[in-house]
Structure 1
C-alpha cells in the first residue's frame, strides 16, 4: 500500500551520531579509527593531517611569551620546561589575555624553578590573586620545592607525573614541548578537535571516553615535532575550532573532519554538536556572615580614614576551599538564619572563640552596621556573603588581640596601606571595596551635616 504524502513529509530525519561513534573500537589504530570517507588511506591519512595542521600552526600561531625556543643544553631545556609548566597551570580555566600579565609578573619575580622554591606560600598566593583555583598555586610551589630538592627537572611524562600537582595533561605538555618526547596531551581544546574529527558523541566526562581521547591523541601526535603538534591542536581548538562558532572554511584539517561530513549529510546535525554538552551540576547555595573588623587606636568616633586603622584577618585551614588564604572573619550560617540578629550572634561567638574579643565587655564598640551582600560563585558553590563593618577601639597593645587567640599564627592585623596591596581573593577584595565605599559614603554624609547639628551630636 502506498504511503500517504502527509506521512512522508511530516517525518523528520533521526539524529544518531552516537551509533556511529560507538561502533569504533576504543583501542584501534588511528587509521582504523578513521570514519569512512574522511581519513582516506591507512598509511597516508594521519601524516596528511599532521602536516596540514603543522603548516597552519607555523603560519598562524599566536605570539605568546611562553613560546620561545629553548637554548642549547640541559639548562635551556629546563628553563623552557619551567615556562611551559607555569603557563599551562595558569591557562587552566583562564583566558590567554589575562594569563599574559600574570605570567610576565610571575617570571619577573621567579625566573627559575629554584627561585620559586625559595618563595613562601603567602608570596605565591599574593602573586596568584585573581586567577582563582588557589590549589594550583600551592601545587606549583610544592612541586618547585620537590624539583629543587632533587636538583634536576624531570624530562619525561612518567617522571613529571611524580611531581606534586602535575597530572597527565601538564606532564604531556612539558615533556613534549620542552623535551621533545613523543607523548600526547588532552585538554578541553584537544577534546573538541578530536571529538569533531571522529564524530565522537559520547559523554566527554566519562572515564571510558576520556581514555579514548588520550589513545587517539597519542596516535595522532607527530613523531618529529610532538611539542609543536600538541600546541597546534590546542591552538586550533582555541581559535578556529571554537565551541560555538567554528570557522570550518579556514580549518587546516576540515577535510579530515567527520563532524563536518555529517553536518553536510544531515541538516539536523551540526559541527557544534560535538563534543556533547554535558549539563553542569547546579552549585549548592551557601550563606556566610562576613565581618570586616576594623580596629582603631587613639582615634575619635569618626569614619575618617587614617594610618592608625587596622583590619583583622583570619587564615583559612590548609585543606579545602581557598586553603591557606587570608580573609575577614567569616562563618557559615543556615539560610533561615541570615537575618542581622542571628548573623551577629554567630559572629560574636566566633570572634570570642577565635580571638577572645568580647564586643560588649572588653572592647569599645564604635560602630557596627550592615554593608550589603555579595554573591561569589565558585565552580560548585554559590556563596552569598552578608557583609558588616565592625569598628572597635582597643585599649593597650593591639598585638594582644592576636596573641589571645588559640592559634596566633592564623591571625594578623593589617593596616590599610598593606591591605590595599595584598593579594586577596577576588571575593574578599570585593568585600573590602564594598566596605571602603560604605565608609566613604558615611564620611561624606558627616562632612555635609550642618555644623550646629554635628556639634550637637558630638556633645551627646
Structure 2
C-alpha cells in the first residue's frame, strides 16, 4: 500500500471508530442525566418534616432542628409503611380495649357471635352525645366535664329536646365551663338541624355546615357514631404522631397541621375507625403526655422514633417532640364592677331585712361572654383610682338605667369590697368590686317600673332585678359568681360586727 493510501485508510478507520462509539457515549450521557433527574425528583418528593429514621445508616440523633414552614411541605403518602400501619392499628386497639377510661359519652361497637354488629345506642342519639362531649372537652379537663355532661343529657337527652331550649337555659347549664360561645353554637346547631327536618348529618362535609363544628368535631362524630373512615387531629393526636415519626416542625403552622391530618388519615383502621381515633386520643391523654410520657407502658413504643432517638443520644428527649410553641403574652386590662342593690328601706341598719334586690345586666350578643349576665361594670385599658372608677360607674348607671342620685334615688351605702385577678385565655383582668345600695324615690311597690323602666324610654339594655336566692340559681360565669360571693361575705362580715360603729357613708360621686 502506498503512503497516500495508508494515510487515507487511517483517516477512514478513525472516522468509523468514532461513528461506532457515538451511540454508546450518547447512552452513557443520557443515563447519567436520567439518574441525576431521578435523584432531584426523589429529593423533591421526600417529606420535609424533620424526621429521623430508625434503621437508616445515616441516622443522626441530634436535638430536633427548626425548619422553616415553607420547607415542611412534602409528599408524605408513604411516611407510614403498610407493616408499620398494621402494627400500630393492632397494638393501639388491643391496648384501648383493655385500658380505655369509663366515660359516660364513650360507647363502642360490640360484635355478636355470628359477627353482626350490635350498637348500644341509636346512631343519632349516639352522634348527639359525641357532639356534646367533644364540644365540652374543648379547653376543659375530662374530670370537670363528666358532671356537666351527665346533667346536660339528663335535661336535654336528645337533639329535639335541646332545640327547644333557650340560650339563657343553655348558659345556665354551661355556667363554670367557660368559653360560652361553645354552648351557643350547640344550641344554634340543634335548632338548625331540627328546623331543616333532616336526620343528624353523618358525613364530615355535612357536619361542617353545622354552626361551631370544625374539622376535628366533624371527624369525631362521623367516625365514632357513623363509622366513617375519617381521621381526627387534636393536641393529643398531634403529640402522638410527632413522637412516632420524630417530627420537629411547628405544630401550629398551617402546613404542618395539614400534614398531620394526612398522617392520621393513613392510620385510621377501616373496620373500627371510631375506636381507633379514640385510642389515639386516649394514648395522648394518659401515657404520651406533654411532660412525663410513660414510654414503658406505651403500646407503640417499638414504632416510636422519638424514643429511639432519645435512647441513642442523651441530648435528645421524647418531650422534644413536638416543637414547643411560645404562647402569646396575655394582655392586661382592668374592670370595675358595681353590685347595685335596690333597697326598700332607707335605714341602713334594716338593709338585711328590706328584701333588697340586685341589678343584673345582659352582655351584648357579640364579643367576649356574649349574651351572659353580669353586674354593671366598666372595662378599662389602664388602671384608674377609686374616684375615677366610681365616676365611670355613675355615668353608666345614669345612661343605661336613669339612676341619678340624689335626683331620683338616694345612696344608702357605697363601699369598696375588694379586688381579684381573673384569667381569660388571652386576657389577664384585674377586677375591682364595690357594693352600692340605693333607695329609689317614690313608689316602692313596683321597682321594675320605677326609674329603671319608663314607657316613654327606648332602652336596648336587658336587665333583671333579682333577690339573692334567684341570683344563686342563675348560670353565671365564674368571675361574676366570684364577685357575688365576695359581696355576700362582705355583708356577712359587716353584720357579724354590728356592734362596731358604722363607717361614715361616702358621698355619691
Are 2:345 and 2:354, in contact at CA under 8 Å, matched by a contact in 1? no
For the residues of structure 1 that align with 2:399 and 2:481, how far apart are their CA atoms? Answer: 25
Per the TM alignment, residue 429 of structure 1 is displaced from its structure 2 partner at its CA by 0.4
2:236 paired residue among 181, 189, 214: 189
Cross-structure match for 1:198: 245
> Is structure 2 residue 264 aligned with structure 1 residue 225?
no
Q: Give aligned pairs, total.
A: 429
Are 1:24 and 1:33, in contact at CA under 8 Å, matched by a contact in 2? no
Cross-structure match for 2:25: none
Per the TM alignment, residue 298 of structure 1 is displaced from its structure 2 partner at its CA by 3.5
For the residues of structure 1 that align with 2:121 and 2:461, how far apart are their CA atoms? Answer: 39
Q: Aligned with 2:122: secondary structure?
A: helix
1:399 paired residue among 443, 448, 452: 448
For the residues of structure 2 that align with 1:242 and 1:73, how far apart are their CA atoms? Answer: 32
Are 1:313 and 1:412, in contact at CA under 8 Å, matched by a contact in 2? yes
Are 2:64 and 2:248, in contact at CA under 8 Å, matched by a contact in 1? no
Unaligned runs of 5+ residues in structure 1 are: 1-12, 35-41
Are 1:21 and 1:198, in contact at CA under 8 Å, matched by a contact in 2? no
1:414 paired residue among 466, 469, 473: 466
**What aligned pairs does 1:249-260 form with structure 2 within 5 A after superposition?**
249-260=296-307
Deviates most, 162-171 or 144-153: 144-153
1:67 paired residue among 106, 125, 137: 106
Cross-structure match for 2:6: none
Cross-structure match for 2:479: 427
Cross-structure match for 1:130: 176
Return the index of the structure with the highest Cα Rg: 2
Are 1:184 and 1:214, in contact at CA under 8 Å, matched by a contact in 2? yes
Cross-structure match for 2:255: 208
Q: Aligned with 1:335: secondary structure?
A: coil
Q: Aligned with 1:305: secondary structure?
A: helix
Distance 1:343 1:161, change over 3 A: same
Cross-structure match for 1:27: 75
Q: Aligned with 1:26: secondary structure?
A: coil
Q: Aligned with 2:103: secondary structure?
A: coil
Per the TM alignment, residue 398 of structure 1 is displaced from its structure 2 partner at its CA by 0.7
**What aligned pairs does 1:42-441 form with structure 2 within 5 A after superposition?**
42-69=81-108, 76-151=122-197, 152-298=199-345, 300-302=347-349, 304-306=351-353, 308-336=355-383, 338-395=384-441, 396=443, 397-400=446-449, 401-404=451-454, 406-407=458-459, 410-441=462-493
Are 2:228 and 2:273, in contact at CA under 8 Å, matched by a contact in 1? yes
Cross-structure match for 2:45: none
Are 2:346 and 2:412, in contact at CA under 8 Å, matched by a contact in 1? no
Unaligned runs of 5+ residues in structure 2 are: 1-60, 110-116
For the residues of structure 2 that align with 1:189 and 1:141, how far apart are their CA atoms? Answer: 27
Deviations 1:31-63 (A, max 9, x none): x214xxxxxxx3311011101000000000001
Per the TM alignment, residue 422 of structure 1 is displaced from its structure 2 partner at its CA by 0.9
Q: RMSD of aligned C-alpha atoms? A: 2.3
Deviations 1:124-167 (A, max 9, x none): 00000000000000000000001111221000111000001100
For the residues of structure 1 that align with 2:69 and 2:79, how far apart are their CA atoms? Answer: 9
Per the TM alignment, residue 307 of structure 1 is displaced from its structure 2 partner at its CA by 6.9
Per the TM alignment, residue 407 of structure 1 is displaced from its structure 2 partner at its CA by 2.7
Per the TM alignment, residue 375 of structure 1 is displaced from its structure 2 partner at its CA by 0.9
Are 1:365 and 1:393, in contact at CA under 8 Å, matched by a contact in 2? yes
For the residues of structure 2 that align with 1:402 and 1:19, how far apart are their CA atoms? Answer: 61
The TM-score, its normalising length taken from structure 2, stands at 0.80
Cross-structure match for 1:443: 495
For the residues of structure 2 that align with 1:349 and 1:263, how far apart are their CA atoms? Answer: 63
Deviations 1:199-255 (A, max 9, x none): 111111110111111111111111110000000000000001111110001000111
Deviations 1:427-454 (A, max 9, x none): 00000000011111111111x34xxx78
Distance 1:321 1:45, change over 3 A: same
Distance 1:303 1:127, change over 3 A: farther
Distance 1:195 1:423, change over 3 A: same
For the residues of structure 2 that align with 1:253 and 1:74, how far apart are their CA atoms? Answer: 29
Q: Aligned with 2:352: secondary structure?
A: coil
For the residues of structure 1 that align with 2:371 and 2:436, how far apart are their CA atoms? Answer: 24
Deviates most, 290-299 or 58-67: 290-299
Distance 1:389 1:406, change over 3 A: farther
Are 1:117 and 1:141, in contact at CA under 8 Å, matched by a contact in 2? yes
Deviations 1:68-97 (A, max 9, x none): 357968981000000000000000111111
